[in-house]
Structure 1
Amino acid sequence: MTESDLNKTDKKPKGSKNFKKYIITFWALFSSVVLAVFFLFMGVSNGNFGFMPSFEELENPKNSLATEIYSADKVLLGKFYFQNRSFVKYEDLSPDMVHALVATEDARFYDHSGIDLIGLARVAKGLVTANKNAGGGSTLSQQLAKMLFPREQFSNKLDIVFRKFREWVISVKLERSYTKDEILTMYLNKYDFLNLAVGVKSAAHVYFNTTPDSLKIEQSAMLVGMAKNSSYYNPLRRPELTLDRRNVVLNQMVKYNYLSQQQYDSLKLLPLGLDYQKVDHRRGSATYFREYLRTSLTAKKPERENYPSWNLQRFIEDSLEWKNNPFYGWCNKNTKADGQPYNIYKDGLKIYTTIDSRMQKYAEQAVKEHLGLDLQAAFDNEKRFHKNPPFSDDLNDEEVEGNLISSMKRSERYRVLKNQGISTDSIKSIFETPTEMRIFTWKGERDTILSPMDSMLYYKGFLRAGFMSMVPQTGEVRAYVGGPNYKHFMYDMVTLGKRQVGSIIKPFLYTVAMQEGLTPCDKVPNIPQTFDVGDGTTWTSRNSTSKREGEMVTLKWGLANSVNNISGWVLKQFKPQTVVNMAKKMGIISRIDPVPSVFLGTSEITVREMVGAYGTFANKGVYIKPRFITKIEDSRGNEVAHSIPQKHEVMSAKTAYLMTNLLEGVVQQGTARRLGWKYDLRNPMGGKTGTTQNHSDGWFMGITPNLVSGVWVGAEDRAIHFEGISLGQGANMALPIWGLYMQKVYADESLNISRGDFEKPEGFNIDLDCDTQSSNPGNKGLIQNEEEDFF
């Protein structure tokens, strides 16, 4: 064999060399891709290609959680929120909800670790074959990653690729940080179901008026169907599309053996069955109370420069609240572990209140029944023939015009227009231009066309009310109604509104008398009492009736019939300042001038103050400040605040018992007798009616051994009022609300409200049987008319 032949033998085939080259190239490229992907994932994970949440952020993702307000009987009254989201635990989810979500959004949820390779392969094949029904490749973990850390806006495809890689990385990290059940729960808690229903707990309530654990199969399927695109599958706007989507979800549940074919055939025929609960802080139960809580908890420390010069009293009262009430300004007085102040709109607090949802309902019903079905119609009927209804004919045209202009200048609309530089004349023209609006009526809202000025006049014609009910032994407020309808009458007449109190201030004077040794059966002369005012003039008390004038009458009869001559006699014994001092001890912080006419009730005081004060009588002489909150918990269920009763002794148990006897006389034989014959309330109770000048304000304060409640009724403007005592007295304006409320309370046996007697102090031996009716034959006419003295 020649050398040439040997050389030929040693040479390998050219194809073999090429194959080896291809193999090396392939593995080099493959390794490069693997390394590139590895380093890409590492870079993404380290945040080199955009935002990547830290471990702490993954462990504790930031969410805006609604603060929930609960009643004493564990009923959700409402929420404060930026987003209406509340967390629910996995064990509180309906199993059908879990099955529907997994079957529809991520069938292999329990088999992957955040990235579903089979799903991605399906998507890739769909892209190649242009199959639009190939489905998506995002797992529940990836969808949760998008919700927890929303996508940014990008301008090129490369950024979009990096974004997708980030979602994959986040989803894998989520799978490492949380269990499958926790991820699924976080998803349902995070998703926005529209119509202010963020999270499954809110969605269950908004769309079906139920809770997540009670969702039916078809209800769960509808909510899961919305998760594809809640704007498109909106059951309120596109019910047909939403129904079709719901049935797709049901079919998926059949496909993955969560539902039988027979169940599907039945369920797909059902309608959506919505029970829509509109989310609106102006609707629902305890609206005025919830607004009081909101403003109180978020109040800032009072600073004098923030109050107008004419409202020094408000600054004083707010300063006292800041100092003495731990819940006034609570959010600004307390901080979280991170040093930030609490935020009731996003910190997911739970506020447990003293309100009883049943008693709150009865109070709201009582206000509506009396004002809406009785008193307003009588008022409107009386004003039909007035020259400027609803104003009294005491006002002339110029005074009415001036009143409306003043109201216009106090309105928010006026303030906004004025800040825009618009002249007063132009604003007045705007207020006189008719526009479409929805107005309040006692039969429901009505669409109409009115000018803003006519609208103001229209609303001035409605009578308002303030009502509060409290347990005197604990100070816990059970019911709080600040007006007839919060949406249309937002001003709170329990805490914010102050009105002249009339004769309901007289028990403060009588308390001084009882404390100093007088008794209900002591007799005094029913004659006018003249006082030296101090500026060279005098003031003399007068009664609205001449019944028994000039006779000796008991103090019990005098208070029962609200006779000014008797109050004047008592005041002469103890001086005006003693009455003011007693009122202050009983929790009145509003200004009361120590003048001879103090017992006429010209001072302006809130319903809240008066209820707290009257609670002292039922609580054996111990004043307890009204309480609205029992405790506050953070989003994790840790208690961060609780209330402690603020109380002090004002009078002896003996004096308090004498006062309850005097107040019982008002109900048994005085201006509040209709509680017995009209409302069939015959158990031990005391009360006091009050009427102010021109019948502008009607009051009733009622006490029982374990419940004290107060009512005010009147119009927005004191120039709007009943013309006569028959309709315009407290016994007709305010007392019926108390009577209707107590009827409902006593009828509800679950409340366990006692009808027992006021407890007599140990060793009490004063004879309280004055036998008033039998010894005073001239009393009959006064009692039948239930009239009371007023100024």
Structure 2
Amino acid sequence: MSEINPNLEIDPNAELNPGNEEVSSESKIKIYKKPLLIFWSIFIVGIVCVVLFFAGVSNGTFGFMPTFEELENPKSSLATEVYTADGELLGKFYFQNRSFIDHDELSTYLIDALIATEDVRFESHSGIDLRGLGRVFKGLITGDSSAGGGSTISQQLAKMLFPREEFKNKLDIVFRKFREWIIAVKLERSYTKEEIMTMYFNKYDFLNLAVGIKSAANVYFNTTPDSLKLEQAAMLVGMAKNSSYFNPLRRPELTKGRRNTVLSQMVKYGYLENQLADSLKQLPLGIDYQKVDHKRGMAPYFREYLRMSLTANKPERKNYPSWNMQKFKQDSLEWEINPFYGWCNKNQKADGTPYNIYKDGLKIYTTLDSRMQKYAEQAVEEHLGLDLQKGFDREKEHHRNPPFSDDLSDEAFEHQMDLSIRRSERHRVLKKKGLSFEQIKENFKKPVKMKIFTWKGERDTIISPMDSMLYYKGFLRAGFMSMVPQTGEVRAYVGGPNYKHFMYDMVTLGKRQVGSTIKPFLYTLAMQEGLTPCDKVPNIPQTFILPDGTPWTSRNSTEAHSGEMVTLKWGLAHSVNNISGWVLKQTNPEAVVSMARKMGVVSKIEAVPSIYLGTSDISVYEMVGAYGSFANKGVYIKPRFITKIEDSKGNLLAQSVPQKNEVMNERTAYLMANLLQGVVREGTGRRLRFKYHLYNPIGGKTGTTQNHSDGWFMGITPELVSGVWVGAEDRAIRFEGIRLGQGANMALPIWGLYMQKVYADKTLGMKQGDFEKPRGVNINLDCEAVSNDNSNSTTEDFDDEDFF
């Protein structure tokens, strides 16, 4: 190893060159070129990788990415909205309770609050807020949790429009975040800022079946989005952070705190004065909760009828039990002649699929009037709940097997209860578990916690299912329908006392014996053949020979004017069977059935001599439609429930057209209206005058079936035709005497209360004029000379018991 010479001089400016060779400039370039190439190669490759990565994310390589068409038309389940004729929202059909609104329906408070709280640079960015992302990264580095989130309104909308899938690992979460960025940018390119804001509010789920701001404003504050107060808007926007956590029903204090945070954000960004915000923060939430439940709200029986009717399938015989072929025939007829029966399955959308009322956002405009519907529901509640039920309970209090009549044997009682058990949902569930009927009966005797119906509200109690069945059987039911005779438009529809607890609809589904309300069909034939209301006939028993050769004679419930000559008007007014029998002998039962068919009655009616006793089961719907012919100058119009259907964008899809049928001439209809007015002026409908003070021209007919199981009243005016049925679930549950058990006491009061309310509401513009007299009809209808003597009769307000 050589020694270093200490005397050697070294130039400090000289470059190191171990080989002691001179370095050229070309060598210098070569030395720096390689690192530069490596750097730019890595940079370019990185850029290419980023571009390829985002391209892969955009085209769905790393997970789902919506197509352009899906971005242009994001799919959402929209609730179908049902409206009344006077523009009130009656209810909705939905999988999700969502209704869309336009931007101009949004309160400015909502827009300002959302921007201030969630995305203050919403108007300036293109879907991704770089400053917001920088703030997030800074917070991650520094550990500052108050740095806030970086998701823009557009990104949040992307999450809602295309929900996150199940994540297998953290890498999936990263990919999803990048996809949301790209979707947000695409949304910004496809929609305006106003449209994105509107879509956000329409899409967000505010919990408690309030999807979208329109539903949320209604559910939480019973108002509309454009009418929200500032503090209300702030609360709803606050919920957008996490509606499950900031739930005003479960965590009101936390929600209030979040609302106040939103108000503070509005102050921070200049949307609100600090002094006003401080005063608003002191206010309570002010929740006016409207529970979303198809069993609640106005006209629940009607809404359920619409749902079942619109979604009905084409009737097939195999789907009907052999004992119910009449139902199959009626449904088949409806399918053929009623365009709205099965409408969803009869009509298809542009893509060839049938309409779906639960997610297509249809708008169904009905004939119901919200005011008249309210009055009808009030009338049913007032009469049944405050009057009739109390008298019925007092009568049944000491019966052997209440609420059943004492003439029902113990064996028949057991049979009735066994039938009720077998028809119940509890029986179906227990039978599916393998229990025998005897075991199921024992189960029905075990007390359980239950919420039961009372006319003063629901009550929590402990009661056995068996006792609860008896309890509910003791409540009287009712069916009521009101219609405009000239158009067939149904204005009010009440299928029972309370839909939640008594779901069976006694307007269209339920059918009961109609009693003497069928007699006008018979009298129509008499008027059609030239008789007049003032013609006199003998009040004597009428005997008919039945097909087996047996004589049959009907009986009257009163001996008033027995054996005398009385007018047809008096006979119908007092529902005298002798007179009806005499009229039937001038024609035949087949003609009565034929007349009923022309007037819209499709239920089975036996063409037998006792036809005028009303032993046939007919619905309130059919009877109201039939009586409409008397008020509409002899023209029957099928009752209508829908005027039109529109799609979610307001395009007309269907429109109803009245179905008319002339069943009698104007003369006959006018004479029948006069006969029916006699029932109210001097007969079984008199209490409309002296109790309910309805003195305008009214025609009507009461009906009471055998043993007082069913009470009816049908009433007509020139502008409205309405019908009422009242009775119990089982015919063996009934009033014991005619004083309380006649149609004039059971059903007529509901009609009277309803009309009182209708006439008192001046906004309805309901006139109280007379029935129009046809030209050329000069018949003297003043039967006073004959009826003066009858008016002094001691006959009480009795209806015909229809003995047979």
Q: Shorter-chain TM-score category?
A: over 0.9
Judge which range, 603-612 or 415-424, deviates more.
415-424
Judge which range, 380-389 or 341-350, deviates more.
380-389
**Which structure has the larger Rg over C-alpha atoms?**
2
Whether 1:56 aligns to 2:69 is: yes
1:480 maps to which residue?
493
Instruction: Give 1:488 deviation, angstroms.
Output: 0.2
Q: 2:746, 2:36 → 1: CA distance?
A: 99
Q: Which runs of no fewer than 5 residues in structure 1 stay unpaired?
A: none
Once the two structures are superposed, residues 234-280 of structure 1 have per-residue CA deviations (whole angstroms, 9 ceiling, x without a partner) of: 00000000000000001111111111111111111111000000000
**Counterpart residue type for residue 786 of structure 1:** F
| CA contact 1:500–1:601 (8 Å) conserved in 2 | yes
1:80 maps to which residue?
93
Query: Which of the numbers 261, 270, 281 marks the counterpart of 1:268?
Result: 281
Whether 1:130 aligns to 2:110 is: no
Q: 1:196, 1:573 → 2: CA distance?
A: 62
Once the two structures are superposed, residues 285-320 of structure 1 have per-residue CA deviations (whole angstroms, 9 ceiling, x without a partner) of: 000000000000000010001000100100000000
Once the two structures are superposed, residues 165-199 of structure 1 have per-residue CA deviations (whole angstroms, 9 ceiling, x without a partner) of: 11111111111110011011101100000000000
Q: 1:259, 1:227 → 2: CA distance?
A: 20
1:553 maps to which residue?
566
Aligned positions of 1:492-503 closer than 5 A:
492-503=505-516
Aligned positions of 1:183-202 closer than 5 A:
183-202=196-215
Query: Which of the numbers 364, 372, 385 marks the counterpart of 2:385?
Result: 372
Query: Which of the numbers 186, 200, 205 marks the counterpart of 2:218?
Result: 205
Judge which range, 511-520 or 259-268, deviates more.
259-268
**Counterpart residue type for residue 390 of structure 1:** P
Q: 2:447, 2:301 → 1: CA distance?
A: 30
1:786 maps to which residue?
798
**Counterpart residue type for residue 408 of structure 1:** I
Q: 2:169, 2:125 → 1: CA distance?
A: 30
Query: Which secondary structure does the structure 1 equivalent of 2:147 belong to?
Result: coil
| CA contact 2:686–2:797 (8 Å) conserved in 1 | no
2:517 maps to which residue?
504
Instruction: Give 1:410 deviation, angstroms.
Output: 0.9
Q: Which runs of no fewer than 5 residues in structure 2 stay unpaired?
A: 1-10
| CA contact 2:738–2:798 (8 Å) conserved in 1 | no
Whether 1:277 aligns to 2:290 is: yes
Instruction: Give 1:384 deviation, angstroms.
Output: 1.2
Judge which range, 414-423 or 501-510, deviates more.
414-423
Instruction: Give 1:10 deviation, angstroms.
Output: 3.3
1:426 maps to which residue?
439
2:736 maps to which residue?
723
**Counterpart residue type for residue 647 of structure 1:** K
Query: Which of the numbers 528, 534, 554 marks the counterpart of 2:541?
Result: 528
Whether 1:466 aligns to 2:483 is: no
Q: 1:316, 1:772 → 2: CA distance?
A: 49
Whether 1:167 aligns to 2:167 is: no
| CA contact 2:555–2:802 (8 Å) conserved in 1 | no
**Counterpart residue type for residue 619 of structure 1:** N
Q: 2:40, 2:142 → 1: CA distance?
A: 28
Instruction: Give 1:787 deviation, angstroms.
Output: 3.6
TM-score, normalisation: structure 1:
0.98
Aligned positions of 1:33-432 closer than 5 A:
33-432=46-445
Whether 1:708 aligns to 2:721 is: yes
2:6 maps to which residue?
none
Once the two structures are superposed, residues 338-390 of structure 1 have per-residue CA deviations (whole angstroms, 9 ceiling, x without a partner) of: 00000000000000000000000000000000000000001001111111111
Query: Which secondary structure does the structure 2 equivalent of 1:623 belong to?
Result: strand
Q: 2:107, 2:369 → 1: CA distance?
A: 29
Q: 1:191, 1:20 → 2: CA distance?
A: 57
Instruction: Give 1:533 deviation, angstroms.
Output: 0.5
| CA contact 1:548–1:778 (8 Å) conserved in 2 | no
Once the two structures are superposed, residues 666-688 of structure 1 have per-residue CA deviations (whole angstroms, 9 ceiling, x without a partner) of: 00000000001100100001000
Query: Which secondary structure does the structure 1 equivalent of 2:727 belong to?
Result: strand
Whether 1:652 aligns to 2:665 is: yes
| CA contact 2:670–2:773 (8 Å) conserved in 1 | yes
Query: Which secondary structure does the structure 1 equivalent of 2:712 belong to?
Result: strand
Instruction: Give 1:130 deviation, angstroms.
Output: 1.2
1:454 maps to which residue?
467
Query: Which secondary structure does the structure 2 equivalent of 1:230 belong to?
Result: coil
Query: Which of the numbers 568, 580, 586 marks the counterpart of 2:581?
Result: 568
Q: 1:267, 1:507 → 2: CA distance?
A: 66
Alpha-carbon RMSD across the aligned residues, in angstroms, is 1.7
Query: Which secondary structure does the structure 2 equivalent of 1:640 belong to?
Result: strand
Once the two structures are superposed, residues 487-509 of structure 1 have per-residue CA deviations (whole angstroms, 9 ceiling, x without a partner) of: 00000000000000000000000
Query: Which secondary structure does the structure 1 equivalent of 2:793 belong to?
Result: helix
Query: Which secondary structure does the structure 2 equivalent of 1:743 belong to?
Result: helix
Whether 1:756 aligns to 2:763 is: no
1:10 maps to which residue?
24
| CA contact 2:82–2:90 (8 Å) conserved in 1 | yes
Query: Which secondary structure does the structure 1 equivalent of 2:726 belong to?
Result: strand
Once the two structures are superposed, residues 204-225 of structure 1 have per-residue CA deviations (whole angstroms, 9 ceiling, x without a partner) of: 0000000000011100000010
| CA contact 1:669–1:773 (8 Å) conserved in 2 | no
| CA contact 1:618–1:660 (8 Å) conserved in 2 | yes
| CA contact 1:726–1:787 (8 Å) conserved in 2 | no
TM-score, normalisation: structure 2:
0.96
Instruction: Give 1:96 deviation, angstroms.
Output: 0.3
Judge which range, 354-363 or 35-44, deviates more.
35-44
Whether 1:681 aligns to 2:694 is: yes
Change in Cα spacing, 1:604 to 1:18, as seen in structure 2 (3 Å) is farther
**Counterpart residue type for residue 43 of structure 1:** G
Q: 2:400, 2:164 → 1: CA distance?
A: 65
| CA contact 1:612–1:624 (8 Å) conserved in 2 | yes
Instruction: Give 1:769 deviation, angstroms.
Output: 0.2
Change in Cα spacing, 1:122 to 1:770, as seen in structure 2 (3 Å) is same
Q: 2:476, 2:31 → 1: CA distance?
A: 99
| CA contact 1:547–1:779 (8 Å) conserved in 2 | no
Instruction: Give 1:29 deviation, angstroms.
Output: 2.7
Instruction: Give 1:127 deviation, angstroms.
Output: 0.9
Q: 1:662, 1:180 → 2: CA distance?
A: 68
Instruction: Give 1:399 deviation, angstroms.
Output: 1.5
| CA contact 1:469–1:477 (8 Å) conserved in 2 | yes
1:27 maps to which residue?
40
| CA contact 2:541–2:555 (8 Å) conserved in 1 | yes
Once the two structures are superposed, residues 388-435 of structure 1 have per-residue CA deviations (whole angstroms, 9 ceiling, x without a partner) of: 111100012222111111111011221222233221111111111110
Q: 1:573, 1:431 → 2: CA distance?
A: 55
Q: How many residues align?
A: 789
Q: 2:711, 2:787 → 1: CA distance?
A: 30
Instruction: Give 1:7 deviation, angstroms.
Output: 4.8
**Counterpart residue type for residue 581 of structure 1:** S
1:732 maps to which residue?
745
Once the two structures are superposed, residues 476-532 of structure 1 have per-residue CA deviations (whole angstroms, 9 ceiling, x without a partner) of: 000000000000000000000000000000000000000000000000000000001
**Counterpart residue type for residue 56 of structure 1:** E
